[in-house]
């Protein structure tokens, strides 16, 4: 005769605030990708994260702040990828290739593609998400690239009067064509090897164009 094992009815394990926030971010990222910003439901996010709606509002008071938290989390991964302390030992083309590869892996991923579409489609109706995306994603990644360009210029490697503008040009060179093709349904999200190959070409073309003249 088989026996039924009864489970304890004790309280569920208590999660730390950091763990709860991590689960919340992942659930929210999925919900935003699937349903957009306007139709993303805090109740559905709470259920997917295994949290109560009350707990969500204690951690993040508004849906716009939750969207900002998702973007900040994704950008933090890019910051980790490029801030490994080893770039200074590399040749400029190798260092820039590493930065652009990390940027491409972030920006051309299916998840970021979906979130970018969301901002384009709903940013006018919900300007707070456009502001968050620009400040936490576009501006921060541009600042990382700009800071590296400034160091190269100051060390005499590059002849570059406007590093900020140049960083924006580099970002466009790296992602604009493949991203646009995906948005229009004319191409697929590039693979990691394709992103790495494109980063290498972009870095080489850019550095040849602004290389400081030999003294």
Domain residues of the chain, as ranges? 13-61, 63-209
Query: pLDDT digit string (tens) for 146-191?
Result: 999 999 999 999 999 999 999 999 999 999 999 999 999 999 999 9
pLDDT confidence of residue 215: 61
Task: Give pLDDT tens digits for 51-62.
Answer: 888 888 888 999
pLDDT of res. 12: 47
Angstrom distance (rounded) from CA 200 to CA 184: 25
pLDDT confidence of residue 86: 64
What is the average per-residue pLDDT within 19-25? 90
> Per-residue confidence at 15, pLDDT binned at 50, 70, 90?
low
CA torsion, ordered 77, 79, 85, 89, to nearest 10 deg: 110
What does the alpha-carbon distance between residue 42 and residue 56 come to, in Å, rounded to a whole number? 8
Per DSSP, the three-state class of 158 is strand
Q: Which residue has the higher pLDDT, 17 or 10?
A: 17
- pLDDT of residue 47 exceeding 70: yes
Q: Across residues 1-30, what is the average pLDDT?
A: 67
- SS3 annotation, 48-77: HHCCCHHHHHHHCCCHHHHHHHHHHHHHHH
Per-residue confidence (pLDDT) for residue 87, from 0 to 100: 67
Tell me the whole-structure pTM to 2 decimals: 0.84
Q: What is the C-alpha separation between 151 and 186, in angstroms, rounded? A: 38
Reply yes or no on domain 63-209 having CATH 2.60.120.680: no
The predicted structure's pLDDT at residue 2: 37
Give 39-45's long-range contacts (Cβ < 8 A, gap of 24+).
42/66
CA distance 28 to 42: 8
Say how far apart CA 153 and CA 51 lie, in whole Å.
49
Confidence of residue 68 (pLDDT cuts 50, 70, 90): very high
What value does the mean pLDDT of the chain take? Answer: 88
With CA atoms as reference, report the closest residue to 198 among 97, 83, 90: 97
Backbone angles phi, psi at 122, to 5 degrees: -120, 0
Give the pLDDT band (50/70/90) at residue 4. very low
Helix 163-183 vs helix 110-122: crossing angle, to nearest 10 = 90
CATH 1.10.10 fits 13-61, yes or no: yes
Residue 126 has what DSSP assignment? -
Q: What is the pLDDT of residue 116?
A: 95
- Angle, helices 17-35/110-122, rounded to nearest 10 degrees: 70
Question: Residue 27 — very low, low, confident or very high, per pLDDT cuts 50/70/90?
Answer: very high
> Residue 6: pLDDT above 70?
no
- 180 near 151, Cβ under 8 Å? no
pLDDT digits (tens, 9 = 90+) for 75-119: 988 888 777 656 677 899 999 999 999 999 999 999 999 999 999
């Amino acid at each position: 005769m088989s026996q039924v094992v009864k489970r304890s009815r004790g309280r569920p394990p208590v999660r730390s605030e950091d763990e709860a926030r991590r689960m919340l971010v992942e659930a929210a990222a999925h919900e935003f990708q699937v349903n957009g910003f306007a139709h993303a439901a805090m109740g559905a996010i709470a259920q997917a994260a295994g949290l109560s709606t009350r707990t969500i509002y204690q951690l993040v008071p508004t849906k716009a702040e939750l969207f900002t938290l998702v973007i900040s989390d994704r950008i933090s991964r890019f910051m980790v990828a490029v801030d490994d302390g080893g770039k200074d030992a590399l040749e400029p083309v190798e260092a820039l290739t590493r930065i652009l590869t990390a940027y491409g892996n972030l920006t051309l991923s299916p998840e970021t593609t979906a979130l970018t579409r969301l901002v384009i489609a709903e940013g006018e109706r919900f300007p707070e998400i456009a502001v968050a995306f620009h400040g936490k994603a576009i501006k921060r990644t541009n600042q990382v690239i700009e800071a590296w360009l400034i160091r190269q210029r100051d060390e005499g490697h590059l002849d570059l009067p406007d590093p900020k503008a140049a960083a924006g040009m580099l970002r466009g060179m790296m992602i604009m064509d493949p991203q646009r093709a995906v948005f229009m349904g004319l191409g697929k999200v590039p693979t990691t090897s394709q992103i790495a190959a494109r980063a290498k070409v972009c870095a080489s073309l850019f550095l040849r164009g602004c290389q400081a003249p030999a003294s």
